[in-house]
Structure 1
Amino acid sequence: MAKPKSGAKKATPAGKTGAKPAAKKDKSARLDLIKNASKRVATSTTKVVKAVAETVAKGAKSAAKKVAAEVAPEKGKAAEKVEKTEKVAATKKSAAKPAPAAKSATAKAPAAPAAKAPAGKSAGGKAGSKTSAPVIPAVEKPRPRATKLPPPGEPLTKREMEQLLTAGEGRGVTGEGSLKGRLVVLNEMPNLVVVGRDKRELTFLLQGPDQEVLPAYVNHKVSVSGLIRKTTNHGGVVDVRKYSAKKPEAEVVEAPPADTEPRLRYLSPGEVSMVTAAGMGAGIKGFAAVRGNLEMTGEEFVLVVSNGGTRQQVSFLIEGKAAVKGLRKFVGHTLQVMGVVDKTSGWGGRIGAENVEPRPSEARAVSRDEMELVHIEGEVPTSVDVKLNHGLTVRLPEQPGFTWAIEPTAAKRVGLREANFEPGLNGGPATREFFFTPRNPGTSEVEFFLAKALAPGLVDRSFKINVTVKP
């Protein structure tokens, strides 16, 4: 083998000569790739921050989630590119290729990210366009409305109409008819409020082609005709075939003159029965005809209408043009008095008599003939024996403004039959006679009260007698 000539340099392999410069260029390429990747990540994150700020300002959280979901793949792609460049550099170092090849590799390497950069921009542009779109709220669907009319049904009878207009009754009644009432809107639907027979309100839903027009007549007086169905005890549905509305007129309430008294009215039979009942009807005033027994307290005439002789006696003072001295001859008789009755308490009041008519006295329920009578005169506390189904009489002097009475329970137990007022003879004091017919054997205590007229609760004095009923 020939030796080389003196003075000539030994040939060095290509790998040793270009190893160090190639390694430096590879490091610089890696740094450039990392910088470029970090810049892309920074730009993408700034875009994300801006998009999130815009979406927060608009109150759309869904847009922020979409942007974050689209940007996340870009970060992954950038990381993958960095890893790929590191692998390529490692393979080049191990292969120890010439410097020109490294230059060409380094020259081509940045081209790929640069080529893909517009794609990132376009993706960012798309994300920005999605975030700027306004969020449209969901619109509620209109409620379904009945616009078709059913076929005509049978007309409602008078009985069915009464059930229809009665609150608490008539559920299931159906038929053709008409209703009048006030139009209201409930849950965006027109309803007709009808005043029933007992002054309670019934509500009917109005359906049909005019359902969209009827709400314009709120608080109007509306009359509808069509198929009426009472679905509940307090309302139902009307399929309106015809309707008419009247504008409500402003009601002007005229104040009654201060000087005039309220007009009196005729009392109904029910009110008259309350007037004559004990403990009821206080405050009732009006025209009526009342029947009772005529008595006197001092110089005043008194009409006893019920429960005479007991502490539940109802009586009225007779006043007016008919209260004349000529009535004295009718004391103890039955009269019918017509005029203005004013019941001031549960036990009586006053009558402004306009007409007085005598009536025949009722026949006595118990005859005193063939009856053994035991008589007590005056306020004498004593004990008496009475035979069963025979009589006991107690006569007591009356005082002006007061009257004698006993408890209703005692009157029932001892068998009170009559409590007769007898005027005094020749100006003497009047008396009251109590007549008893005991029906049950045994011993009973009877207490007599001298109470104020028209106020049996105010007692002046009392006394008691013991009654023993023997068979």
Structure 2
Amino acid sequence: MAKPKSGAKKTTPAGKAGAKPAAKKDNTARLDLIKNASKRVAKVATKLVKVASDAAKGGAKAVAKKAAAEKAPAEKPAAEKAPAAKKAAPAAKAAPAGKAATGAKGGAKAGATFTPPAVDKPRPRATKLPPPGEPLTKREMEQLLTAGEGRGVMGEGSLKGRLVVTNEMPHLVVVGRDKRELTFLLQGPDQEILPAYVDHKVSVSGLIRKTTNHGGVVDVRKYSAKKPEAEVVETPPAETEPRLRYLSPGEVSMATAAGMGAGIKGFAAVRGNLEMTGEEYVLVVSNGGTRQQVSFIIEGKAAGKGLRKHVGHTLQVMGVVDKTSGWGGRIAAENVEPRPSEARAVSRDEMELVHIEGEVPTSVDVKLNHGLTVRLPEQPGFTWAIEPTVAKRVGLREANFEPGTNEGPATREFFFTPRNPGNFEVEFFLAKAFSPSQVDRSFKINVTVKP
């Protein structure tokens, strides 16, 4: 084997001698290319993201994710191998086209989930009128206006009712034969104008078709509308007094009872003895001569001078009874009828009577089961009375009112028939009529009942 010459070095290929510096230059150029490409990719991705977000908000996230995914491999470190760097340049050039396609797909996908609101389309309206039909007969008109009947009836006629708008369409509400309402849809060229007459009284004529048992359709050829009149609400007059009524038997008994029924008012017929206090006629209905006497002043058209002849007799008065207190009130008499006086419970025949005249305090002796009379002058507006318990103890039988003669004062006679022996003190009160608690004066007598 031949040996090299002395002092000679091994030959080195020219390419290998300058390989290292050349590789460094190539790497620097490639790094600059990659950086420039990544900047362009980032700008294009940003524009695509904005476009996608404006088109559909839902696709923005998808575009951003894909842009970030493609941006990452473009920014790989420069220490990668040269073949990877060579592939990066053509990938960077193809990136904008691929990115746009991806953004378009993402936007289309996002747009599929977003549905824009539907635009309300005007409903079709029947504006053409059909040819005239046969007029409705009287029988068909009755069926047409009867709720629950007449389905399929059709013909020319007219209807009146109140116009309403339902679902933006004019309808005529007609009151049928049995007061039930029927609803008819109004069609024709005037269908756009009729809603302006809502709540008006409208009369239409045209082709009427009853499509259901409770309504139908009217092709309006003519119509007329009347403005509804303003309803005037009549306020009922204020009642100054309660409505009068007939009193029941229970209310009548309360009206004639002492201390009860104050405030009762109504029509009734009451019976009692007629008396006078001054110029007023008084009807005593119960407990006459005691401090529980119930009496009514007679007023009205029947309270005339003709009553004077009935003073001291029994009358039945019909009219409006108004009991203002527990001791009486007033009667607006409409009719007065005399009644026969009741027979006296005790006959004065064959009876020894002891008589007292005037307000004289005294003492008297009376036989058992015999009589005692006390006569006292009365004043207008006042009446004489005794306590109810004393009247029962001494045996009060009658308290008779006697009108005065020759302009003399009226008097009242008390008639007693004692049934129990003993000594009794009888006190007489001159009290105000209808107010027995208001006493003007009084006096006493002592009665000794002997067997």
TM range (shorter): 0.3 to 0.5
Greater Rg, structure 1 or structure 2? 2
